[in-house]
């Protein structure tokens, strides 16, 4: 079936390439999809360029653009179950989590749908009756959107919704592993009435199908979520044509637990922080930084509860978390754990694949806790992006902040304490883009999301998220034009 969406048409890859998509929970074949090459992506960029330069979308009133997003949200609600099943088959994640994702996506569409209509320019007071100035907001142009496999449609819609709200056109390249909800979503946008060429979809590998999105002169903005190494390549590619760039590159997120926190609450959230979606979350609380006097009791309890986490496939109602995305990714997590142990970490639990025969065809890995990791060691510096918690200790508040900020990433973090003033002090001092207090993981479409330091630049969500896709123009008019006689001659 033709499943590249270019210029409002469903087409096959020009070179005829196909790729098998397999469910990470059991290796079963989900479907075959088209495998685009750079040539297909260039055709998609040309379609997006035409739709921007000559099509109706950029000049469509903002409120109408917003209404299209609101209609799309309603259509997604209608089809949520189909979308959730497709997401679970591609990612292996539990169906219940995919259902949450779909409802978060609808909320994101509604947020930007409403915001679109509120985005007004402003008149600037020039201080003179003889001139008039105004600020207008305009779309940036053609956006290249490159997304990962952990929250496939959610990550895509975090980019698509503000891009469309602002009047841009786009080419989306989702992860080669998880294309299906992107295909379904293009159909919804068309059903909602989006003109052909505004939304374009290419499927395929990053270095071939994805690369033109960061290089091609007809792309004005590239927005990427994924790994740090790829982010560096994309930023370097984009520099040649000075594209606008937005990057979300993950994190090495500290979860700081003071000994005055509520013990049960802090343990419970520490587990969710790191083991949700088997740790394949950019904001995962993978670094537990616990006050020294609590260390033994706290880690013992974490180990006890981590060993009870039930693994299983998307449709196993007893499962509490699922597999890793691929064999290659599980091997990466295994290497990370082996290196940590070589460097002195103490393996408290996990550190291997499950023995359960029912799980042998999937890419499962047991929830793992590594104690006694040292600052500066690989385990503390690098992301595992798997179900692996490292444990460090601190003495006092200054020590906690110093350790929590000792990372080149800066995406998110948590603070657990019952001292309200301390919570705010520590949150103020953490150099991370989102800080949760006595909580972990909630995100709100109306609140900005993005990283400090090497976690990236540019914001997603919130009003600033929309601003990323907007050019701001100052238009100044002289109301009494005539010679100025600045020079007498
Ligand atoms: P990547 O960063 O390689 O992939 C993310 C997206 O970028 C995919 O669509 C990928 O394509 C695409 N891509 C890769 N190379 C290029 C390129 N040269 N030009 C344009 N697009 C490109 O992530 P991985 O899947 O390899 O995961 C690596 C690590 O990244 C993980 O272990 C984790 O640490 C981190 N990660 C972070 C995420 C986050 O949310 N911040 C999400 C996922 C991963 P394709 O893969 O289809 O070839």
Catalytic-residue membership of 282 = yes
pLDDT tens for each residue of 13-26: 999 999 999 999 99
Nearest to 155 by CA among 145, 147, 163: 147
* Residue 446 to residue 465: CA distance in whole angstroms: 9
Do residues 242 and 259 share a domain? no
* CATH code, 404: 3.40.309.10
Q: Which domain holds residue 315?
A: 254-437
Residue 70, H or E segment? helix 62-78
- 437 close to 93: Cβ distance less than 8 angstroms: no
Q: Which atom of ligand 1 is nearest to the CA of 205?
A: 48
CA of 372 to the centre of ligand 1 (A): 30
- In angstroms, what is the span from residue 447 Cα to ligand 1's centroid? 25
What was the pLDDT predicted at 117?
83
Instruction: Report the alpha-carbon angle 77-179-220, nearest 5.
Output: 95
| Residue nearest (by alpha carbon) to ligand 1 atom 9 | 175
Domain match, 187 and 218 both:
yes
- Grouped pLDDT means (10 residues each) for the chain, 489 residues: 94 96 98 97 98 98 97 98 98 98 98 89 94 96 98 98 98 98 98 98 97 98 98 98 97 98 98 98 98 98 98 98 98 98 98 98 98 95 98 98 98 98 98 98 95 96 95 95 89
Hey, what are 286's tokens?
Answer: 């993978």
At which residue do the structure tokens 């982010």 appear? 231
Ligand 1 nearest-atom number relative to CA 332: 32
For helices 80-91 and 95-118, the axis angle rounded to 10 degrees is: 120
* Structure confidence at residue 488 (pLDDT): 87
Rounded Cα gap, residues 94 and 83, in angstroms: 13
**Ligand 1 pocket, residues with Cβ under 6 angstroms:** 146-150, 173, 175-176, 205-207, 210-211, 214, 225-227, 230, 233-234, 248-250, 282, 332, 383, 385
* Six-digit token string for 75: 């259509």
Residues 338, 296 within the same domain: yes
Q: Rounded mean pLDDT of the chain?
A: 97
Both 243 and 294 in one domain: the answer is: no
Pairing outcome for strands 434-437 and 199-201 = unpaired
Distance (Å, rounded) from C-alpha 222 to C-alpha 269? Answer: 35
Q: What letter would DSSP give residue 207?
A: I
Domain of residue 98, CATH code? 3.40.605.10
User: Mutate which of 148, 171, 224, 408 to test ligand 1's pocket (most atoms within 8 Å of Cβ)?
Assistant: 148
Q: Is residue 484 part of a domain?
A: no
Share of the chain above pLDDT 70, in %: 100
Assign residue 226 a region: left if phi > 0, alpha if psi is -120 to 50, beta otherwise? left
Residues ≥6 apart with Cβ < 8 Å to 61? none
36's tokens: 């685009």
Give how many domains the chain has, as a whole number.
Answer: 2
CB 253 within 8 A of CB 413: yes
User: Within this chain, do residues 131 and 80 fall inside the same structural domain, yes or no?
Assistant: yes
Whole-angstrom Cα distance, residue 382 to residue 335? 12
Residue 352 shares a structural domain with residue 396: yes
Q: Which of 56, 46, 3, 13 lies closest to 201 in space, CA to CA? A: 3
Q: Are residues 312 and 221 in the same domain?
A: no
Q: Which residues contact 405 (CB under 8 A, 6 or more apart)?
A: 254, 429, 430, 431, 432
- Do 146 and 227 belong to one domain? yes
Contact in structure between 225 and 146 (CB atoms under 8 Å): yes
Integer Cα distance of 470 and 314 in angstroms: 38
Give the CA distances from residue 367 to residues 275, 319, 344, in Å, rounded to whole numbers and listed in that order. Answer: 7, 13, 19
- Cα 213 from Cα 283, distance rounded (Å): 26
What is the distance between the alpha carbons of residues 49 and 190, in angstroms, rounded to a whole number? Answer: 18
Distances from the Cα of 407 to the Cα of 122, 253, 278, 375, angstroms: 41, 9, 22, 9
23 catalytic residue (yes or no): no
Which protein residue's CA is at the shortest distance from atom 31 of ligand 1?
A: 227
Contact 30, 18 (CB under 8 A): no
**Helix locations, 345-459, DSSP H:** 378-381, 397-404, 420-429
- What pLDDT does 271 receive? 98
Do 214 and 331 lie in a common domain?
no
């Amino acid at each position: 079936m033709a499943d590249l969406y270019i210029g409002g048409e469903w087409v096959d890859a020009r070179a005829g390439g196909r790729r098998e998509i397999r469910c990470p929970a059991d290796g079963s074949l989900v479907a075959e999809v088209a495998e685009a090459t750079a040539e297909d992506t260039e055709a998609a960029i040309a379609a997006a360029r035409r739709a921007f330069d000559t099509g109706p979308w950029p000049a469509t009133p903002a409120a109408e653009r917003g209404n299209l997003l609101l209609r799309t949200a309603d259509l997604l609600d209608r089809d949520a179950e189909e979308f959730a099943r497709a997401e679970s088959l591609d990612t292996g994640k539990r169906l219940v989590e995919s259902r949450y994702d779909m409802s978060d996506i609808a909320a994101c569409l509604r947020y930007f749908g409403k915001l679109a209509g509120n985005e007004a320019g402003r008149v600037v007071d020039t201080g003179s009756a003889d001139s008039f100035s105004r600020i207008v907001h305009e779309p940036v142009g053609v956006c290249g959107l490159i997304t990962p496999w952990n929250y496939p449609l959610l990550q895509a819609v975090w980019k698509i919704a503000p891009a469309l709200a602002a009047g841009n056109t786009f080419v989306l390249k989702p992860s080669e592993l998880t294309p299906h909800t992107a295909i379904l979503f293009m159909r919804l946008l068309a059903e909602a009435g989006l003109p052909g060429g505004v939304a374009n979809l290419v499927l395929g590998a990053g270095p071939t199908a994805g690369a033109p999105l960061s290089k091609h002169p007809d792309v004005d903005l590239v927005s990427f979520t994924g790994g740090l190494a790829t982010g560096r390549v994309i930023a370097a590619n984009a520099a040649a044509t000075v594209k606008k760039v937005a990057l979300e590159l993950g994190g090495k997120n500290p979860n700081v637990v003071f000994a005055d926190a509520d013990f049960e609450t802090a343990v419970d959230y520490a587990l969710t922080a790191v083991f949700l979606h088997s740790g394949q979350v950019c904001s995962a609380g993978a670094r537990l930084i616990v006050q020294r006097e609590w260390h033994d009791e706290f880690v013992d309890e974490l180990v006890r509860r981590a060993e009870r986490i039930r693994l299983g496939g998307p449709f196993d109602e007893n499962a509490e978390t699922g597999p890793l995305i691929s064999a290659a990714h599980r091997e990466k997590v295994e290497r990370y754990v082996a290196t940590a142990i070589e460097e002195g970490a103490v393996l408290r639990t996990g550190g291997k694949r499950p023995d359960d025969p029912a799980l042998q065809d999937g890419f499962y890995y047991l929830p793992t806790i590594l104690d006694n990791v040292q600052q500066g060691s690989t385990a503390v510096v690098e992301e595992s992006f798997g179900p692996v918690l490292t444990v460090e200790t601190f003495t006092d508040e200054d020590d906690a902040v110093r350790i929590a900020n000792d990372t080149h990433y800066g995406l998110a973090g948590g603070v657990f304490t019952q001292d309200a003033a301390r919570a705010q002090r520590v949150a103020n001092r953490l150099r991370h883009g989102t800080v949760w207090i006595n909580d972990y993981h909630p995100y709100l479409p109306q609140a900005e999301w993005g990283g400090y330091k090497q976690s990236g630049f540019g914001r997603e969500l919130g009003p600033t998220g929309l601003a990323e896709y907007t050019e701001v123009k100052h238009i100044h008019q002289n109301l009494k034009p005539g010679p100025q006689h600045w020079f007498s001659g």
